[in-house]
Amino acid sequence: MSRDQIVSLAVLGGMIFLFLWDRLRYDLVALLALLAAVLGGIVPADHAFSGFSNPVVPLIGGALIVSAAIARSGAVEVLVRWLTPLLRSSSLQVGVLVACVTALSAFVKNVGALAIFMPVAFQVARRNDRSPSEFLMPLAFASLLGGSMTLIGTSPNMLTATVRQQLEGAPFHMFDFFPVAFGTALCGVVFLSFGWRLIPRGRRSAAAEATFKIEDYTSELKVGPGSPFSGRTVLELEDAAGGDVAIVGIIRDEYRRYVPAGSWTVLPDDVLVVEADPQALDQFVVDGKLEVAGNHELPEATARIEGEDTTLKEEAALVPAEADPNRLATVEAVVTADSVLIGRSAADLHLRERYGVNILAVSRRGRQSAVRLRRLKFQLGDAIVFQGRRAAIYDTLAALGCLPLAERQLRLGRRRQLVLPVAILAAAMAAAAFRIVPAEIAFVAAALAIALLGLLSLTELYAAVEWPILIMIGALIPIGEAVKSTGTTDLLAGLVSGFAAHLPAYGVLAVILAVTMLVTPILHHAAAVLVMGPIAAELAQNLGYKIDPFLIAVALGAGSDFLSPIGHQSNTLVMGPGGYHFADYWKLGLPLSLIVVGIGVPLIVLFWPLR
């Protein structure tokens, strides 16, 4: 064993120890490992940061931005409303949501697909008096199954493509993973539709349910002449909204307020007084092409600042839209004990004229109000949706004594683009699938289009990128190359070859797949690929096999971490909201892991010839 091999093994061992110790975040562990490799002489100093120029880094960043745009487009909400009639039995409720997450994860980053459907799972659980824990773990596992189907669905696939490019000179392409992963995903969906019963009963997280359980807002929505709601009855509109929206009043002739029966017909220029949670309210506005009462033109921020040069307004036109002080923002805030709003209404305070904000909706616990929103006397604890100029709204809320709720980003009163994000995603995937341009170019171009079209603000765009993941990957790529260049992979593969030589080909594949599954919770799925990929490829060459089947097995294994909450972000994301314990994961995850190995190995042999 040479000195460089000893250093390589020491770096790998230290990295594994730090991952297991779990006191430092994974990106810091990767940077420490990279520094150790440079100081140990196995990674040249001028090559230390070459991993950040690897195409997989911009590819992951672009895919995350596109995922965020899809999440904010409202497309998923429309899909869920179409599927609501199917959510009858317990198994169908889990099965339909699991199938949706699996399908969506193939086209957007899997953790993003899971985040989109988590609020849906809480709503379904609440309506059917079920624990959210019965949904969340199956949804997390479904996101892993679906993400393995395409190049962009999960980081292990992207990194495996990088390993293949280093070894063979060409990466895997968009749908190379699909034949194998689709079969395992299909079997996994069927299992999860019934296997959720293996999750221990009674798991709940009160804090998470409080976060997702939003008190209904009261809002006033004006029906325009071109609204599809005009001419329909109150009952029809409530049924079309799936029971999530209650029409508690109709205002006609500007001031007459009625409590409508279900048979009342909605007329043009009616103002509907509705109660709903923010997501349902937002979708109701979009479906009916309604105007939010109170969503009036606001004075420009530059015009309200005394003593400022008038050229500021002209200069505002020269800055990006995100930095424009006159860009509208919608913020949810709670009335605090020292607020000037308590006991007074928006009309009393002339909020629009004096403070430059509109009131779009109000949520109050305990009882309904029979007065118009602009005449409603605010109380301590009221949750209010404010609309104002981005440059001033937070200062205004502070002056009013209201506390912004940063956790929830509301889009009420803001236009949503349903078609454009989906079209951009489809164009990027088509360009990559037909090899018109490399995948990283396609998805960076898609991210740029999303920014230029204003589908995400620059703040939202940069927030969508998981920077710690990109830093970890950029730091680990040179280490993976060093492990191979020093002959460490040859050494490790040689140790395994003696054992594997006595196994049939499918047995060797099963061992690689299972070992990758087992080391992923220890190393993190990205590190598992960068360590196991070269070892699997070297083992294949030693045994006289092609390397592609073994790399596919590594990708599938690293993307199928069902045994712990720490190997993948999807599993970690649901642990708190689901109230799960560490040991809960293997109870559902072990049978699913056996299914993936049992189905995956024959499919790999079928679609990827060994010789």
Residues 324-355 have pLDDT tens digits of: 555 677 787 888 777 899 989 888 888 888 88
Q: Which residues pair with 329 in a beta bridge?
A: 388
Share of the chain above pLDDT 90, in %: 32
- Distance, in Å, from the CA atom of 472 to the CA atom of 456, rounded to the nearest integer, reads 26
What is the per-residue pLDDT across 49-98, written as a single tens digit (0 to 9) for each?
999 998 888 988 888 888 888 877 767 667 666 776 767 778 888 999 99
Q: Is the pLDDT higher at 311 or at 592?
A: 592
Q: Which pair of structure tokens corresponds to residue 11?
A: 């770096």
Write down all domains in the chain, each with its CATH number in brackets.
215-292 (3.30.70.1450), 311-404 (3.30.70.1450)
Higher-scoring residue by pLDDT: 394, 371: 394
Average confidence (pLDDT) over 595-599: 97
Specify the pLDDT at position 59. Answer: 87
Query: What is the per-residue pLDDT for 330?
Result: 78
User: Residue 441 has what pLDDT?
Assistant: 95
8 Å CB contact between 156 and 568: no
- Helix or strand (DSSP H, E) at 115: helix 110-127
Closest CA to 410 of 205, 140, 119: 119
User: Do 319 and 458 meet the contact criterion of CB atoms below 8 Å apart?
Assistant: no
| pLDDT score of 477 more than 60 | yes
Residues 425-461 have pLDDT tens digits of 889 989 988 889 998 999 999 999 999 998 888 888 8
pLDDT at 480 over 70: yes
**Range among 59-68, 214-223, 588-597 with highest mean pLDDT value:** 588-597
Residue 149's DSSP bridge partners are none
pLDDT of residue 413: 53
Angle (CA) 204 332 222, round 5°: 115
Least confident of 160-174, 531-545, 576-590: 576-590
Of 179-188, 522-531, 553-562, which gets the smallest average pLDDT?
522-531
Write down the pLDDT at residue 371.
Answer: 63
Token pair of 15, please?
A: 């990295």
Rg (CA), the chain: 27
Answer whether residue 9 shows pLDDT above 70: yes
Give the alpha-carbon dihedral of 159, 512, 178, 90, to 10 degrees.
Answer: -110
Cα–chain-centroid distance for residue 46? 36
Residues 297-319: pLDDT tens digits? 555 544 443 444 444 344 444 44
Residue 35 CA to residue 40 CA, distance in Å, equals 8
Return the ∠ at Cα 123 (arms to 121 and 124), rounded to 5°. Answer: 65
Mean pLDDT for all residues in the chain: 83
> pLDDT at position 179, please?
96
Confirm whether pTM is higher than 0.75. no
- Segment of 27-36, 114-123, 274-283, 393-402 carrying the highest mean pLDDT: 27-36
In this model, does residue 359 exceed pLDDT 70? yes
What is the pLDDT, as a whole number, of residue 415?
57
Convert the pLDDT of each residue in 96-144 to its tens digit. Answer: 999 999 999 998 888 778 877 877 787 788 778 888 889 999 999 999 9
Q: Hunting for tokens 């390993």 — which residue is that?
A: 163
Mean pLDDT lowest for which of 301-315, 351-365, 569-583?
301-315
Tell me the β-bridge partners of 247: 274
Distance CA 444, CA 427 (A): 12
pLDDT at position 322 over 50 = no
User: Which whole number is the average pLDDT over 568-579?
Assistant: 78
Overall average pLDDT of the 499-507 stretch: 83
Q: Show the tokens assigned to 532.
A: 């196991």
Task: Tell whether the model's pLDDT for residue 563 goes beyond 60.
Answer: yes
pLDDT for res 98: 95
148: three-class secondary structure by DSSP: coil
User: Which residues is 328 bridged to in the sheet?
Assistant: 389
Show Cβ contacts of residue 236 under 8 Å, excluding neighbours closer than 6 positions.
Answer: none
Residues 556 and 147 sit within 8 Å (Cβ to Cβ):
no
Task: Identify the burial level of 129 via C-beta atoms within 10 angstroms of its C-beta, where 0-12 means exposed, 13-18 middle and 19 or more buried.
Answer: exposed
Separation between Cα atoms, residue 553 and residue 513, nearest integer Å: 5
Average pLDDT over residues 140-154: 94
Least confident interval from 13-27, 67-81, 251-265, 334-348: 67-81
Q: Which of 177, 248, 137 is nearest to 574 (CA)?
A: 137
pLDDT of residue 423 exceeding 60, the answer is yes
